[in-house]
Amino acid sequence: MSDAIEKLAKSKTGALIVFSGKEPLDSHFSGGLTANAEFSLPLILSIFDSSSPGHEGAVLAENGKIGRFGLQLPVSLRY
């Protein structure tokens, strides 16, 4: 996964990646598609490619895999 993040950074491509922890996160997301896929450079680059349908939104990393992608995150009410 670090290879993909490095490549995204070098190409100045934004990427939202949420890492799950102990707390359930499902109530914080809306939309998105289930992937349950292994992290790979081609997959991450294709998800965050601006011409990809899943490009708009975040990726949820859980259990060492891409659990879901194209997730809408809540907007902060703090300024």
Residue 76 lies in a domain: no
Residue 1 reports pLDDT greater than 90? no
| Residue range 5-39, pLDDT digits in tens | 899 999 998 899 999 888 888 888 888 999 999 99
Q: Which domain holds residue 42?
A: 2-71
Q: For residues 7, 29, 37 and 4, what is the CA-based torsion angle, rounded to 10 degrees?
A: 10
Residue 76 reports pLDDT greater than 90? no
User: Tell me, what CATH number does 45's domain have?
Assistant: 3.40.1700.10
Residue 64 lies in a domain: yes
- Work out the average pLDDT over 29-55: 88
The pLDDT value given to residue 67: 92
The pLDDT value given to residue 5: 87
CA angle 26, 31, 37 (to 5 degrees): 75
Residue 77 lies in a domain: no
Please count the structural domains in the chain. Answer: 1
